[in-house]
Structure formats: structure tokens, C-alpha cells
Chain A
Amino acid sequence: AQSVTQLDSQVPVFEEAPVELRCNYSSSVSVYLFWYVQYPNQGLQLLLKYLSGSTLVKGINGFEAEFNKSQTSFHLRKPSVHISDTAEYFCAVSGLGTYKYIFGTGTRLKVLA
């Protein structure tokens, strides 16, 4: 079985500052990892995913994440945030060959002017 922990429920950050949203996972098998973004009153949209290969994954809207197997982490980063990045971000994990994703509890990113 897999589990996901998002360590911060809320992250306030000033516009144009860098941000890191943390995600740790637990699994007894190899995993796929995902980050999703949810804007207010909308569904979830895929930001980026790690399936295999390079541990640094680039996604949409300037976000990137690094898979660290030894730390069992998949932290999301952006070097300079915009007001429009204000949203809730979810980390998700699935075991290889399974269909189910396990989601973290989410991190609310609030970008301040």
C-alpha cells in the first residue's frame, strides 16, 4: 500500500518569491508520482508527473519537481510565483501496475501582493 504526506497545509508567499511545497510518500513498491493543482471551484488539473527516467520533472506554469528515492520525497518548486498561482496543490502516488492514486491532504498556496 502507498501513502502520501503533504507537510504544510498552508503556505503564504510574496509575489515573485520562490516556493517549495513538500511531499513525502511511503510505498513498498516502485511508484509513479504526480502533482495536481485545483483552482477555486474547479476540478484538479495535472501539473506534472514522474514515471521514470530523469528525477527532475518539469511541468506546466513554470513548476518543477524532483524525485528523491532515498528521501522518499517529491517536492514541488517554482522560482518565482505569481498571484495567479494561488490555489490548492495535491501530491499523489500510485504503485506500478495499479490503477489507484492515493492523494495527499493538499497544500493551499496563497501568493501575496
Chain B
Amino acid sequence: NAGVTQTPKFQVLKTGQSMTLQCAQDMNHNSMYWYRQDPGMGLRLIYYSASEGTTDKGEVPNGYNVSRLNKREFSLRLESAAPSQTSVYFCASSERDYGYTFGSGTRLTVV
């Protein structure tokens, strides 16, 4: 009963380095999302994938790219990390309007 699994849980990057955050869900949900959470700002949508084969920008897409590898997996890539990307990143999945299921998050620090 894993739900949504995110890896890694913690990461420290140097400015300019790249990395990929992985997300996988085992609930056969069609839609997947990447959010970032910053103090006092709630959750902001970075990218989402309404269904396999489609991706769309959210509220704060700059500096990020995504890949919907298959129905289960949705990865988020930082090509050249910046200190402003220090945040907690959450992946979520959903089926229609039944509500999101969230992963446990990735805490990223860019120094």
C-alpha cells in the first residue's frame, strides 16, 4: 500500500548542479503533479500531467522540466539549480475529483 513514493527524501546541491526528483504512484491514477512548498506561501504548482503523454506548466515552471515516463512515473528535473529553488517538493496523483494523494516530500537545499 505504497501510494505515492518520492526519492530522494533529502538532497543538497551546489548552485549550477542538476538533478532529477523521482515520483511513482501505484494507484493507477491518470493525473500527476509537482508542487513546491515554501514558508508562508503554501503550495505552488510547478507542472502537472493530466494524463499519460501530456504535461503542462503550472504557476511556477521556470527552471524546471518534467517527464511523464509512463502512467506510474512523473519526474521533475532541475537543469541548473539556484538557491531560489531551495524548497520542499511534493509529488501528488489524483483520479478525477477524488482528491490528491501526496508523497512524503523531498527537502532540497541549494547552496
Which of A14-22, A72-80, A100-108 forms contacts with chain B? A100-108
| A100 engages B43 (CB within 8 Å) | no
Most chain A beta-carbon neighbours within 10 Å: one of B41, B100, B103: B100
DSSP majority for the B interface? strand
B97 touches A51 (CB 8 A): yes
Task: How many A-B residue pairs have C-beta atoms within 8 angstroms? Tell me.
Answer: 52
Please give the distance in Å from B81's CB to the nearest CB on chain A: 22
B43 touches A90 (CB 8 A): yes
User: A99-B31, A99-B50 are known contacts. Are A105 and B42 too (CB-CB below 8 A)?
Assistant: yes
Assembled-state Cα–Cα distance A99/B104 (Å)? 21
Interface of A with B (CB < 8 Å)?
Answer: 6, 9, 32, 34, 36, 42-46, 49, 51, 90, 94, 99-106
